[in-house]
Amino acid sequence: MIIQRASEPLPRIHCCSKMDYAIQDPRIPIQYSPVSRSYFLPFITMKNVVHPITHCPWCGKEFLKNLYDEYHEILEKEYGLDNYDLDDHPEKIPEEFKSDAWWKKRGL
């Protein structure tokens, strides 16, 4: 087996290289949502239930604020979409709210 190494180090996306690795390794249950800028542990036995994580388990750095509440507030105020609309009619969600574009655009 030949292992090819990158000529340059890969850019770090999260707080440390161990978190970058953990987010991409399906064996490690930590997940990241760029839409709400949140880290969490999903509950396997309960659909749509998660346990938020506020600090990196490896380097201890505190994560930036989770934007879950702001996401829902903006969609309701600016677009008239409540939680039921988001679940029942995902096609109504503006494209920018399907990624981290919405909070980057607003400087959050």
- Whether 60 and 23 map to the same domain: the answer is yes
Averaged pLDDT of the chain: 86
- Whether 19 and 58 map to the same domain: the answer is yes
> Taking a C-beta distance cutoff of 8 angstroms, is the pair 14, 53 a contact?
no
Average pLDDT (80-94) is 86
Task: Look at residue 50 and tell me if it is in a domain.
Answer: yes
Whether residue 46 has pLDDT greater than 90: no
Average pLDDT (33-48) is 87
- What is the spatial distance between Cα 74 and Cα 96, in angstroms, rounded to a whole number? 12
Number of domains forming the structure of the chain:
2
Read off the pTM: 0.78
47 or 7, greater pLDDT? 47
Task: Look at residue 2 and tell me if it is in a domain.
Answer: no
pLDDT of residue 30: 93
- Of 62, 27, 73, nearest to 81 by C-alpha is 73
69 or 6, greater pLDDT? 69
- Whether 92 and 81 map to the same domain: the answer is yes
- Whether 60 and 35 map to the same domain: the answer is yes
Domain limits at 42? 13-66
Task: Look at residue 1 and tell me if it is in a domain.
Answer: no
